[in-house]
Chains A and B, each alone.
Chain A
Amino acid sequence: MKTRIVWSVLTLGILPVGIAAQQPALTPQDSAFHALNRLAYGPRPGDVRRVAADGVMRWIDRQLSPEEIDDHRLAEREGQFQILEYDRRDLAAMYTEVQRERRERKLAADTMADRDGGSPIAQRDKRLTGEFAELAVVRAALSERQLYEIMVDFWTNHFNVYLAKGADRFLTPDYIEHTIRPRAMGKFADLLLAVAKSPAMLFYLDNWESVAPGSVPPAALRVSARPIFGRRPGLFGPMRDSARQDSMRRRALEGMPKGINENYARELLELHTLGVDGGYTQQDVIDVARIFTGWSIERPQQGGDFEFHDWAHDRREKQVLGVGFQAGHGMDEGVRLLKMLAGLPATMHHVSWKLCQRFVRDDPPDGCVDEAVAAWRRSSGDVREVLRAIFHGPDFWAPDNGRAKVKTPLEFVVSAARAVSAEPDTSPRLAQVVARLGEPLYLHVAPDGYSEREAAWVNSGALLDRMNAAVALATGKLPGVTVVLDSIVGVGDADQVIGEVNEKILGGAMSENTKQVLGRELAGISDPIQARALAVGLALGGPEFQRQ
């Protein structure tokens, strides 16, 4: 890509001295455009000018303290989303009811069950699920706390759960609202612990039913009888060993978890903390799984909370990465392990590397990672200090890294919506576009989350879909999304329209070729309103806008 940015040291008096001295700097407009593309979901009309006038480093510092940014407009919009009024127990009850209805309809061989959209409750369930995905897009588009929303997206992928897996259907909204969002700019260790205890993650990676081999819940012990456990009959007095009771008992026990499940343990090491090359062994995975036996959910099907089951916990000694975990410390073993993992160099490096990949380039420069790790060490894993180090580092501002990243589908859709000041309502239209482009939110099945690499997103089919989405947005053909182009690009002759589109939507990056193609296309259209919509659509769907 040809960088058309004019580098000038003079214009960036606000950059920290050390950096400004060794680094060619962008013009205030270009640096504002770059920062708005990386720390935000792209500029809205007027943003570049405002940020440039204010000083880009001042804006970045403000973004690093989101709690001090007034965001009442978003708060008002959030008020329209009913999903936020339901807690996970409400959602669980609704889901159970929908499932029950569906089973009954199936039994009644009601073939229309799937076609008519279902009963009122099924429709409500579906609408709320749609709202939940749309809420993420609306927040990304409208929030003043842009960096915060970017970090929520980052952690949502780093600690990915899959909405369509059983109970995660109703546990995920709670997970995003109460586990991820409150800790997105805090200490990594706090987030790691909160995720480990979240019902959504415990369910997604199966830890909730990982138990020490041979352990039996107290409730099952009470109803069980001598032949199996060699105990005297308990609370219920002498039991008659009728065949029926026997088979009921056996069936109850058969359904119980019988041993450890390694799923969470492995992804904790591989994805959440150390990274796949973090130097752990299969035996470490097993011992981590043993440490987390008993980390479970009270009644997951009813949307219950985290619960530690002492009876399910492996009481023997464990060893992880050469560190001993003495027997008999119950839940504390897991807490200690998480704290240890959060502070290991491999974890610092792995997570810092991912942050540099997100903010700087797909193959992050070593220098960026080193500075992030150093900040991690200094601040004991304070995410905002790590981010600050990245944004103040030379790699973030290096000419080669400007427009070096291709937007993910979410970034593309949200930045397009922001570029034209789109006002989405609570219907799931924009989220559906994001899904069509390959990134259905909360629906990445594997625990690695959506990719940051351009190869994951740029392909022939997806590109055509981006062009279609761009044209639909610009021509007002996305129901539920209001776009008023008047406030962005005036109606005028072709040159005027193209000039404004270039300045306001592409940050002045429009190539000569694009100008010519737009000029020719616009010349063939007599209706100026249509011509303007086409210019905006071609700009949003064109090659320049796919990069950030």
Chain B
Amino acid sequence: MTISRRVFVKSGGLALFSLGLDPLFLARAAFAVRPSAGPSDRRILVCLFQRGAVDGLNMIVPHGDPTYYRERPRIAVPEKDVLDLDGYFGLHPRLAALKPLWDSKTLAAVHAIGSPDATRSHFDAQDYLESGTPGVKATPDGWLNRYCQHDREHQDTPFRAVAFGPQLPRILAGTAPSLAIDDLQAFGLRAPQPAARDRLTRAFEELYAASATGLLSTSSREAFEAVQTLKRLDPGQYRPANEADYPRGKLGKTLLEIAQLIKADLGLQVAFADVTGWDTHVNQGASEGQLAGRLDELGQALAAFTRDLGERMGDVVVLTMSEFGRTVRENGSSGTDHGHATAMLVLGGAVNGGRVLGKWPGLDPAQRFEGRDVAVTTDFRDLFAELLARHLGARDLSAIFPGFTPDPARFPGAIRT
């Protein structure tokens, strides 16, 4: 079946009845039709993985609940510091850079979101979040890669799926081409003169083309394609727009490079990066301190990214995600231990912003998961599926999340419809 989504969108889906397509397909496809904002093949999803389990309760603070303050005498964010969002939830003060985005309704939070699997192991939980198959370890690929495998309408440019970092993460592992870039400027072979560089590149390309096997073969092919493209881009010359001021550090640099790739129109559709430092077992801090420092960098970097991209943010959605949340009650060392549900942020022009989405289970011990952690009321796959369907236009969600039947009725409603 080769019907381009553009045709589909134009015809509103109705024309397809006459083509004899099965109704199930249409039911799945119905929510693929998404609102305005630029041609669909320009839409981009940026995923930031807060690896280490971010404390959702100190990021999006339930300051309206006295239990929160009772359970966290040393690390609760004081009422006076919280940036109120809706009378009950508030932003951590060091996320202040994101408040204007909330006010302009391009930032939403999904609370009490997580995995249906109960594991409190970082590694299992990260694995499940990336494979998109909680409880099933044998899944060979990641859900972002499966999206690229199954959405064949988008061209597989070398830059369609890019992970920023020295390693290709599990979430992008799989048969669809994907790229790992640690430093955009240094990507490629180095030699004193361009002619020597080109020769070296060609020689290695030929070595790998004929003799490499397995992963060495596919990865090298992707590498050399990307090198050819970047040769024309000249990333060293990039200057952010609108006086966007990215914070120093890895996250700022990564988001700057993502912005650059987006503006270069190289076919980037899925970008991924890790943000570490959330495993706050000890001295987590409240308005200030360890977690505050990490949130500050996150907020500043996302604000700069939004400013830099300007109108282009209409095509972009940024998602933050984390493997699980942390205990409601602070632990013995002024930190928090591994918990269950957490909060995720969704940001961008198409976002149904200015609200905390998801069903809030409450913090009372009886409402908690196993009596200690925030309960999961939104399966993270419902949010991921919504972004893939309503933002990127994915159709075959059950192939992307095997063993799971995504249901638009359960989507948290992060994308405007």
Contacts and interface: CB of A to CB of B under 8 A. Distances in A.
Nearest to B118: A282
B216 A258 contact: no
B123 A446 contact: yes
A460 B207 contact: no
Given A206-B282, A282-B370, A543-B211, A460 B333 contact: no
Interface string A438-476: 100000011010000011111111111101100110000
Contacts of B395: none
Contact of A276 (B121, B167, B168, B219): B121
Nearest to A403: B213
Contacts of B121: 266, 270, 276
A266 B281 CA distance: 13
Contacts of A276: 119, 121, 123-124
Question: Interface residues of B toward A: which range?
Answer: 35 or more
B188 interface: yes
Contact of B332 (A259, A446, A471): A259
A463 B219 contact: yes
B208 A459 contact: no
Nearest to B225: A460
Contacts of B227: 464
Contact of B167 (A259, A456, A521, A544): A456
Contact of A543 (B52, B199, B220): B220
Interface stretch (A52-60, A142-150, A208-216, A383-391): A208-216
Nearest to A464: B223
B335 A546 contact: no
Interface string A210-232: 11010000000000000000000
A543 B212 contact: yes
A289 B65 CA distance: 30
B222 interface: yes
A93 B123 CA distance: 35
A513 B210 contact: yes
Contacts of B338: 262, 266
A543 B180 contact: no
Contacts of B188: 464
Given A257-B333, A261-B281, A462-B167, A1 B124 contact: no
Q: Which of B203, B334, B335 has the most CB of A within 10 A?
A: B203
Given A257-B333, A258-B332, A406-B215, A468 B166 contact: no
A517 B167 CA distance: 29
A202 B334 CA distance: 17
Contact of A458 (B51, B216, B281): B216
B14 interface: no
Nearest to A471: B200
B213 A513 contact: no
A350 to B, nearest CB: 13
A1 B338 CA distance: 43
Nearest to A461: B180
B207 A514 contact: yes
B285 to A, nearest CB: 13
A541 interface: yes
Given A455-B173, A543-B220, A464 B167 contact: no
Contacts of A467: 189, 200, 204
Contact of A210 (B189, B191, B332): B332
A454 B218 CA distance: 13
B187 interface: yes
B251 to A, nearest CB: 15
Given A209-B282, A276-B123, A468 B189 contact: yes
Contacts of B226: 460
Contacts of A262: 331, 337-338
B213 A1 contact: yes
A513 B219 contact: no
A261 B200 contact: no
Contacts of B219: 458-460, 463
Contact of A263 (B168, B213, B281): B281
Nearest to A254: B74
B179 interface: yes
Interface string B185-208: 001111100000001100110111
B127 to A, nearest CB: 10
Nearest to B172: A459
A457 B124 CA distance: 20
B187 A461 contact: yes
Interface string B205-247: 0111011111111011011001100000000000000000000
B122 interface: yes
B120 interface: yes
B276 interface: yes
A542 B205 CA distance: 9
A513 B276 CA distance: 43
A282 B120 contact: yes
B373 to A, nearest CB: 10
Nearest to B183: A461
Contacts of A472: 190
Contacts of B215: 406, 454-455, 458
Contacts of A406: 215-216
A542 B332 contact: no
B181 interface: yes
Given A260-B331, A270-B121, A464-B188, A543 B203 contact: no
B182 interface: yes
B332 A263 contact: no
A13 to B, nearest CB: 32
Contact of A463 (B206, B214, B216): B216
B216 A211 contact: no
Contacts of B120: 266, 282, 285
B216 A261 contact: no
Given A455-B173, A460-B180, A542 B211 contact: yes
B213 A464 contact: no
Contacts of A163: none
A128 interface: no
A478 to B, nearest CB: 12
Nearest to A546: B216
A459 B167 contact: yes
B166 A461 contact: yes
A355 interface: no
Contact of B207 (A2, A206, A445, A517): A517
B72 to A, nearest CB: 12
B204 A206 contact: no
Nearest to A260: B332
Contact of A544 (B182, B211, B334): B211
A245 interface: no
Q: Which of B179, B191, B216, B222 has the most CB of A within 10 A?
A: B216
A379 interface: no
Given A1-B213, A458-B215, A543-B220, A448 B123 contact: yes
28 contacts: A210-B333, A258-B334, A261-B332, A270-B121, A276-B119, A406-B215, A446-B123, A457-B167, A458-B168, A458-B219, A459-B163, A459-B219, A461-B179, A461-B180, A462-B180, A462-B182, A463-B219, A463-B220, A464-B189, A511-B211, A517-B206, A542-B204, A542-B207, A543-B211, A543-B212, A543-B216, A543-B217, A546-B216
Given A2-B213, A266-B338, A542-B204, 12 more contacts: A210-B332, A261-B335, A276-B121, A436-B166, A438-B166, A459-B180, A460-B219, A461-B180, A462-B166, A463-B223, A513-B206, A541-B204
Top-10 shortest CB links A-B: A259-B332, A460-B223, A438-B166, A513-B210, A459-B180, A543-B212, A459-B168, A511-B211, A258-B332, A461-B180
